[in-house]
Chain A
């Protein structure tokens, strides 16, 4: 009769091994139910999130002139790719108007390129300069720092009506109307959100890391670029993605300063699918198709960078 004492795995193993046996069963069941509820909630949220997208797709694949004949049908009404053709500029005026479109020309690829350029420039500026400013507010010491930070923060609350017209006048006076610069400049140097967001993260960086760098003789600049910024790669990328999406979806400002076709961005160009006349209806199929196509580059971008965020080493920096 050999006595085999099962060798307990190390304490780093699952909790259950070390918990008192008498508590095991109820905790398992509670954890099990909890997990089911959690999953159910997540699925429900995903359904609510996705349903309008399905509706958009269903509408985009419908024939605009038949759309309301069957408003509650879950399937496209009069299935056709006409809307996507309209968006990509592949259909003639007659075809477009036959399906309820306006027939005005749309240079999809040019607008897409413009949007890419503008959004990239804005994001680059905002993240770079915002990170620098956030670091100054979070970790550098200088008189009046917190007061100035709060003043910066109030830029969030500036009513858009105060900034739109004066900025428009400024662009006109600088001769920059209908250029990429006009679209990019007001957003390029800073957005209060970026500064605020990154400051909160920089505040959370353990001081030991910085002090170690200081002891190594690193100046402020080197400290920032070599030590701090890499550690904040997760938040930086998150911020970059969020700001990219914001910049991508800008509509009123580019409409105001840069409606020339050569610099027109996608959102402005796709405004053609909204109602063009008083008491008119939008070109629903075209609008939904346009929106889906405009969102596609971002979805790709996000999917690519999502993994980067998951794989980032988090924030503690000390393992």
Chain B
């Protein structure tokens, strides 16, 4: 039938037309699909370099640094971009994938190992050797944190931080505790030492009975002596690391180690003690901690004492309605311990202006810039000589911030644990610790978990 054949022909014609259109579209999208490997970049010395950071509170200080740098290097412009922490790593990651990563960016000890292992950031050793950067000028421990799994350096430290205790001075006074006592609390995994006594005294139930008085009702607490943020995942930087490491334990033996020790009785004992605080009513149940943040709970009077990092000093000092004070972490069986970490600046391998980027990194790591940052009053810069200026600025908040800086001088710090496959390990430990602290599993279950963590590296 003629109609049938003409129908066929027109179908073919339209089919062909459709195919042509589709192929054109395909051709458009085919580009960029077969380029693997990392672009080696170039050693450009001039032009615009992009610099990414996440802490908006430090923007003014770094904008000042950039202005000073551009004045000294007229043929280099620094373009600073700021993205909040929640979006930051996604942006960096997609930037790497698309080859549009920033020339320089603020890097974190928990992330740079993976970047280094994949050749995404520049090792700096050769450049360092050719420059006059003195690695000894940095606070002890901070520069070492930037040595990668292959022994090369991947960043210069910008700042350092430690962990301490923030507490409501009024509540402490009501419990009969002085500032000196709070600064010299002792701890052990068996009975919690004077630390447990202190938080028991600061815990108040809904009938006004304190945690160390008879008749205390752990199921109906108005103010918890010790606040809880979350289960701490693999390292518990601000949650429990100062307890566990003060027993002489550490999750791995050295940086980039692959043999984990979550099966160690010292660790499990400490965690069991810490979880036990929930049953005693001194710490809220884990299920209560999803939602409002630590500082909100402190401000609302729900917590008397919280443990957190020095990077929050500026934020916490602004909290109205709380008579805030700080204290050092308690003294454990092997002494007082606090975890120290340091942020650094890394250069992307894909940068086309590595020469200029290195100049910028050197400026960031110089006393000139870090003095500006110190006076910005948000963090402690890494160059030891700038610490007094930072302490002075931060002390203007009324808090005794030497509680965060003295441990370095006293040799009481241990470094942030550095491992490869960090997200895998954090994922396993996060779930496991949630179950232990939530009361669904015993601390001894962490032995089996340790095997799973070890297995990640097989």
Binding site for B on A (CB under 8 A): 63, 65-71, 78, 93, 97-98, 100, 102-104, 143, 165-166, 168-170, 172-174, 177, 255-256, 259, 271-272, 274-281
Contacts and interface: CB of A to CB of B under 8 A. Distances in A.
B238 interface: yes
Across the A-B interface, give the 7 residue pairs with the lowest CB-CB distance, nearest first: A68-B299, A68-B296, A69-B321, A102-B56, A104-B56, A66-B320, A169-B32
A256 B56 contact: no
Interface of B: 11, 28-29, 31-33, 54-57, 59-60, 81-87, 90-91, 94, 97-100, 229, 238, 292-300, 308-309, 311-312, 315, 318-321
A250 to B, nearest CB: 14
A104 B98 CA distance: 28
Nearest to B97: A165
A77 to B, nearest CB: 9
B296 A170 contact: no
A272 B319 contact: no
B297 A68 contact: yes
Contacts of B91: 255-256, 259
Given A71-B300, A277-B311, A173 B229 contact: no
A123 B229 CA distance: 43
A97 B32 contact: no
Nearest to A284: B296
B239 to A, nearest CB: 10
B319 A65 contact: yes
A53 B50 CA distance: 39
A259 B295 contact: no
Contacts of B84: 271-272, 274-277
A281 B293 contact: yes
B253 to A, nearest CB: 26
A172 B98 contact: yes
A275 B86 contact: yes
Contacts of B296: 67-68, 71, 281
A274 B84 CA distance: 7
A68 B87 contact: no
Given A78-B320, A168-B94, 11 more contacts: A68-B297, A169-B32, A169-B97, A170-B29, A170-B31, A172-B99, A272-B84, A277-B57, A278-B85, A279-B293, A280-B312
B56 A281 contact: no
A177 B99 CA distance: 12
A283 to B, nearest CB: 9
